[in-house]
Amino acid sequence: MKWRIIIQKKNDPAYNMALDEAILMSVIEKKSPPTIRFYDWNPPTASCGYNQTAENEVDFEILAKKGYEFIRRPTGGRLVLHKDEVTYSVIAPLDGFLGGSVTHTYSQISKALAKGLHLMGIDVILEKGSLSSSHQREAGNPCFTSTSRYELAYKRKKIVGSAQVRKENCFLQHGSVLLHENQGEVGKILPKLTDDKKEKIVNYLKKKTIAINEVLDTPLDFKKAVQFLTEGFILEWDTEDFVLNNELTNEEKKITEYLIKSKYQTEKWNKKL
C-alpha cells in the first residue's frame, strides 16, 4: 500500500475534524491515497465522542473562561482535552494487514506508535484491557481514566488514547499522543461536580496519565516527536511505501470547507441540538 504522510501543526478544531472526515470521504471514493496525518490544536479543545451528550461531559462556562473550545468527533470514545499534544490520524481501506476487527486494526496502529515511542526512549506496553460500549458512553467518564485493549501505556499510565469509525469498508482512527501535559486538567472542566470531587478526579487523572515530556530527561517539541512517530510507522510497516506530501487535493479542500461550515462549526452537530 502506498501511504501519504501529512504533517501540520496547530489548527482550528473545526478544521481538524473536517479534514479528517474529508480525507476519509476521498479515500472511500478512491480519490485520495491512504493517509497518516499529524497535527495539534489551537486553541486547546475538549472533544467528545460521537455518541456522548455534550452537556453531561463539559462545563461550557468553565471552558469559555479558559478560552478553550469544544467539538464533537466523528469517531466514538470519550472526552479528551487536546492541549499541546501530537494528534495522529490514520485513514485507509479496511484491507490487507489493516483489515479485520476493530481491535486488530487498533493493534497494528498501536504497534507503529509504540515503535515511535520506543525510538524516543519510552518503553510502552500494549494494554490488554477492554471497555464495553456502555462504559465508553458513561457521562463524566474521560477517555484517559482507563485503557482499552491495544492502547498504549507507560508504567500503567496511559500515554495514548484513540478512537475509530468505519464507513464503506474504510476507516478513520485518530488519537492523542500526550506531549507536554497529562490529562489532569480534564477534571476541572467536568460539569455538575463539587470542587472537592473535581480535585479528586484531577489527582486521579494525573496518576493515570503521563505525557512524553514527563518521561524524557530532554524534552521533545512537536516537530521532533512527529519525526520519531513517523519513523515508527515506516519501521513497523516495513512492507509499505510512504511519501511525505502536505499538499491536499482540491477535492479534499472543498469537502473540508463544506464540512467546517455545515457541520463542525454548528451547535446542531457539536451539541446535537
* 178-194 pLDDT tens trace: 999 999 999 999 999 99
| Domain boundaries of the chain, sorted by first residue | 41-237
Q: What per-residue confidence (pLDDT) applies to 136?
A: 44
H helices of the chain, in order, are 13-28, 54-57, 60-66, 102-120, 133-136, 195-208, 212-215, 222-236, 250-259, 267-270
143 is catalytic: yes
Cα separation, 171 vs 161, whole angstroms: 17
**Quick check: 24 pLDDT over 60?**
yes
Give mean pLDDT, residues 192-218: 96
**Quick check: 213 pLDDT over 90?**
yes
Q: Does domain 41-237 have CATH number 3.30.930.10?
A: yes
Active-site residue (options: 63, 114, 143, 248): 143
- Beta strands 157-158 and 152-154, pairing class: antiparallel
- Summarised one tens digit per residue, pLDDT across range 92-114 is 999 999 999 999 999 999 999 99
**Quick check: 7 pLDDT over 90?**
yes
- Summarised one tens digit per residue, pLDDT across range 37-83 is 999 999 999 999 999 999 999 999 999 999 999 999 999 999 999 99
All cell numbers assigned to 142: 474521560
**Quick check: 144 pLDDT over 90?**
no
Residue 64 in contact with residue 86, Cβ under 8 Å?
no
Mean of pLDDT over the chain: 93
